[in-house]
Chain A
Amino acid sequence: MSAEIRPQDVRSILATDCGSTTTKAILIERREDGYRLVVRGEAPTTVEAPFEDVTRGVLNAVREVEELAGRRILDGERIVSPQRGDEGVDLYVSTSSAGGGLQMMVSGLVLQMTGESAQRAALGAGAIVMDVIALNDGRRPHEKIRLLRQLRPDMILLSGGTDGGDVKRVVEMAEILVAADPRARLGAGYDLPVIYAGNRDAADLVTERLAKRTALSVVPNLRPSLERENLRPARDAIHELFMEHVMAHAPGYKTLMTWTDAPIMPTPGAVGIIIEKVAKRDGIAVVGVDIGGATTDVFSVFAGVFNRTVSANLGMSYSVSNVLAEAGIDNILRWVPFEVDEVELRNRIKNKMIRPTTIPQTLEDLVIEQAIAREALRLAFEQHKSLAVGLKGIQSERTISDIMSQTETGSSLVDLLQLGLLVGSGGVLSHAPRRVQAALMMVDAFLPEGVTELAVDSIFMAPQLGVLSTVHEEAATQVFERDCLIRLGAVVAPIGAGKPGQPCVTVGIAAPGQEPVTRAVPAGELVLLPLPREGSVRLTATPERGFDLGAGRGNVIEAEVHGGAVGLIVDARGRRPFGLPEDAARRIALLRRWNAALGLYAREI
């Protein structure tokens, strides 16, 4: 933002997100009713050869914005700022995950204690955690050293010990790091950034060992005591070093950094900011998922606690083959309502991996892609649940009993019955040809329980709006509500299992100005009831004995839910457990019936 422009005077904003495959640019302008999205443009990201300059892709995306908006933003290869007449913009911000994003290794003394805290700090800052090294990780010292050498992270977060606690073991970890002498991923010409956020009593000894060999930053301990976690200083240091060391060495970023009016933020860090704001504003538990080409990020806020995880190798293009490797072919095929030859399916998935930018042309291909997406989302959510056990980033208190439960299951925070809103983004969800397809992919993957609202990020603007909110919250919030979030409706899913056809739940909808609707849905069925696209309705759901919607078995619940583009999905297919028939013919028949009930595709498939 040009120094002379005050936030209230900002007329236009350009925001870009440099993704691993595509650079997306959005133009926001202030209209009579506030800030609105005007257009969006995109172009291939140009971090790689032959261009090796991220600004090429940014300029190409901005040129598309210029064409679509019918006005000039660029003067040659420069963004005109501040706006002059109809030319240029007052504010420019950007996020980036190009070149594989921020890849970190973290270390702690005990895997489940400081190791886990360090992991949460790195993930919360938007990093991909390549590995966690700890004294009790089961690897021998020379194996740790080999790993550190091989992985070539962008940055290392070294933690360990509570303040006043063990010094010797912390120093031992630093010595392992010295012996490994790891090199930074981007270029050999600079020292690897290392952040020390462990026992303050060991800081001098760690500095003695690491200061000459690495770009060391010492910040306050991220686990000053067993009961307290203080992640903010480590996260801030990660953001700072990301800009100073990592981005500055990526092709073209030095130039891009001079264009922006706020520091370039890692894409997932920016998405997290927006998700946290929504949860806080509406006072609800929120899960957000962003399924990209290479990675899938899951963000959650339960009981006011924000958590983020990234599944580094679950995605729909570069990593699509890894979804197959991790989920197994049977888990993918269970969502496909027709017979597929295994050899043929494997080849299709690999062909997508080696040519990651292709799109489904046939309906069968789309169905297979959406089946893979269900498994990628399911696996990413499983990983999230196992780590979403954290404390709030800023100096939260945690009782000893909490700590014990953390090491037990690591899933104490994610409570699907409490989940108020599930937001999906990423191409396969945001660009699904029918919105109901996105809704069902999320329902199948996350298996929400009770009553949960569903939404998608219309054109994946969350990263740009997240970074924008750090410099212009009003504009970010207005655009998020009006142009970014597309409400799909809600899902009602009773916990319990019954025989197919047996009574399960009765749902009543009362919308203003409309006749109330009541519908009894038997077990095993999936039903779609219409909701108004705008505004909200009064929902009453009465589960049969043996089924629970959160108020106890057989107890009615009432809720106010937003309408949306899809409607109300009543999912009586069962929870805890949810299962599909093993027999292929029965499974296919069932999938076809459900797909027809929801109008999932243009024709039966």
Chain B
Amino acid sequence: MGELIFEARGASYRYAGAATEAVSRASLAVPRGELVGIVGPNGSGKTTLLRLLLGALTPTAGEMRAFGQPVATWKRRALARRIGVVVQREEPTFPLRVRETVALGRYPHVGAMRALGAADHAAVATALARADATALADRWTATLSGGEWQRVRLARALAQEPEVLVLDEATANLDLRHEMEAFELAAEMVRAHGLTGVLVTHHVNLVARFVDRLVIIDRGEVLAMGPPAVVLTREAVERLFAWPVDLVHWRGVPQFVPLRRAERGASQEP
């Protein structure tokens, strides 16, 4: 395993007033140049784990490291020069044009007041092109459809010129095409441009098609970590979703099929 981008060592987090830990003794590693999926059902602690990895939360126990240092020692701007994040929800308070919102991806590089230079405008143009959002550049963000808005936010993360691209349920409310497009873009950034990618989602089948490594989270614990073909077993998926499934293979990648009640026991023991 090469240089580690993210590393969790027995990290736990408990929200103030919560009875149980949202993340419990989680250990995982994201090596440079890999595409990693973090999967689990709703409420499993995926997003909390991601916030710990990104230093937005401080673990109540254990250790989180980013680029070899404790993540808490990173300045936010320095981290934002290396990591671009697309979060699940975002509602701008005031109308912005697409080009303006993508240009905000240059903040980690230019700071609070300096005007954008030629290199910044080039980065914005490249990011818009890669995310297939160039045609949207002069639109107001409020007029965008869900899929267009997602491409714009992907473009903004790319405008940060990051080493790591993180999608946190960024596609959860969108249809299949937009989710596939976002994952294809992330995969391309990893394969062709040397980025490291982290995809957080509950769509296990889809993400298994793309990633080198899956981290399976259930009830705040890391259930398994490894290549999809290894960790995506019937037992793991059934435990994860508390529902019987059958497992098929598509080009070497396991894909699960949820079983109807009448189908249980027909092809397998329950």
A and B: bona fide binding partners: no
